[in-house]
């Protein structure tokens, strides 16, 4: 009887030992499968192809329509309120500044960004990753796709990005966004593609990739990279009630 109990105990112990040993060998594989991608080498490679864009726009005060509105409100309870508002408006031309991002696509200084980043700008300045600054000129603009091509004269060949196929980008794919949100240069955020083919009512070519990588004001015109370091999108719009990234 004791011999039978010993044999049963030995078999169960052996089974437990084999199962435990198998689990030990599987742990590294499971850990590797569940780990996040190592983005450090990728980011070091890609940062030099992303640029900071700052623009200056000179605006003229438009009092014509305001005066017409004021005349229509004459002797009404709202006349005083609108007159006070009108008196606070600039009487002379004033400057407006904005920030955005862009990506180098040609060694001769050609940069892709959003059209709304450079639209109606009187002055466009581009700052490279190494902090050199250059004046840029607009080569072409397309309001319908919200894309623009600008160029700087750096005097030397510049590092450039390569383009991937956004049609092959799948939901769940890892992506990296590099840009200048709120003027904070070379900011890197990462996430996944949340959806493809998004229609947000932004022009006739309404077919966007949605990502949960943080995209904020100043990221406009910056690139969205896949893990092969290829540009699969240009960060264009934020769908948010707060104005900040909500995924």
Provide the pLDDT for residue 79. 66
- Tokens 């709304």 label which residue? 116
DSSP string covering 92-135: S-EEEEEEEEEEEEETTTEEEEEHHHHTT-SEEEEE-TTS-EEE
Provide the pLDDT for residue 185. 86
Could you read off the pLDDT of 40-93 as tens digits, one per residue?
999 999 999 999 999 998 866 654 455 565 566 666 666 666 666 666 666 666
Predicted confidence band of residue 140 (pLDDT cuts 50, 70, 90): very high
Phi, psi for residue 61 in degrees, rounded to 5: -65, 135
Provide the pLDDT for residue 16. 46
Mean pLDDT of 110-128: 96
The candidate with the shortest Cα–Cα distance to 162, out of 45, 54, 37, is 45
What percentage of the chain exceeds 90 in pLDDT?
56
What percentage of the chain exceeds 70 in pLDDT?
68
Active site (catalytic) residues: 116, 146, 220
Counting Cβ atoms within 10 Å, is residue 73 exposed (0-12), middle (13-18) or buried (19+)?
A: middle
Two tokens, residue 155: 């005097």
Q: Rounded to whole angstroms, how far apart are CA atoms 204 and 201?
A: 8
Mean pLDDT of 203-228: 92
Mean pLDDT of 170-175: 96
Task: Tell me the angle at which helices 64-72 and 79-87 cross, rounded to the nearest 10 degrees.
Answer: 160
138 or 35: which leads in pLDDT = 138
Q: Identify the three-state secondary structure at position 237.
A: coil
Could you read off the pLDDT of 222-238 as tens digits, one per residue?
999 999 999 999 999 88
Provide the pLDDT for residue 183. 82
Best-predicted range by mean pLDDT (31-35, 72-76, 135-139): 135-139
Mean pLDDT of 157-173: 96
Provide the pLDDT for residue 172. 96
Q: Identify the three-state secondary structure at position 236.
A: coil
Cβ neighbours around 173 below 10 Å, total: 16
| Contacts made by residues 186-190, CB under 8 angstroms, sequence distance 24+ | 186/47, 186/50, 186/52, 186/129, 187/219, 188/39, 188/43, 188/47, 189/213, 189/214, 189/215, 190/39
Q: Rounded to whole angstroms, how far apart are CA atoms 95 and 118?
A: 14
Asked if 177 contacts 221 with a C-beta cutoff of 8 angstroms, the reply is no
Predicted confidence band of residue 244 (pLDDT cuts 50, 70, 90): low
DSSP string covering 120-186: T-SEEEEE-TTS-EEEEEEEEEETTTTEEEEEE--SS-----EE--GGG--TT-EEEEEE-GGG-TT
Report the mean per-residue pLDDT for the chain.
Answer: 82
199 or 83: which leads in pLDDT = 199
Q: Rounded to whole angstroms, how far apart are CA atoms 193 and 228?
A: 15
192 or 31: which leads in pLDDT = 192
């Amino acid at each position: 009887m004791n011999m039978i109990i010993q044999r049963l105990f030995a078999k169960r112990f052996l089974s437990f030992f084999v199962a435990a040993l198998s689990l030990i060998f599987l742990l590294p594989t499971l850990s590797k499968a569940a780990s996040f991608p190592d983005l450090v080498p990728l980011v070091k490679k890609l940062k030099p192809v992303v640029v900071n864009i700052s623009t200056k726009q000179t605006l003229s005060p438009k009092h014509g329509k305001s005066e017409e509105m004021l005349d229509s409100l004459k002797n009404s309870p709202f006349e005083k309120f609108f007159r006070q508002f009108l008196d606070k408006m600039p009487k002379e031309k004033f400057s407006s500044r904005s920030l955005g991002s862009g990506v180098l696509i040609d060694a001769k200084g050609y940069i892709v960004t959003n059209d709304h980043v450079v639209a109606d700008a009187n002055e466009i300045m581009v700052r490279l990753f190494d902090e050199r600054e250059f004046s840029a000129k607009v080569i072409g603009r397309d309001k319908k796709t919200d894309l623009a091509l600008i160029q700087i004269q750096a005097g030397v060949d510049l590092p450039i990005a390569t383009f991937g196929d956004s049609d092959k980008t799948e939901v769940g794919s890892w992506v990296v966004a590099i840009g200048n949100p709120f003027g904070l240069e070379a900011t890197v955020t990462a996430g996944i593609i949340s959806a493809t083919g998004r229609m947000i009512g932004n022009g006739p070519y309404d077919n966007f990739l949605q990502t949960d990588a943080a995209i904020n004001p100043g990221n406009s015109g910056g690139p969205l990279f896949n893990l092969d370091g290829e540009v699969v999108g240009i960060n264009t719009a934020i769908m948010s009630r707060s104005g900040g990234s909500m995924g």
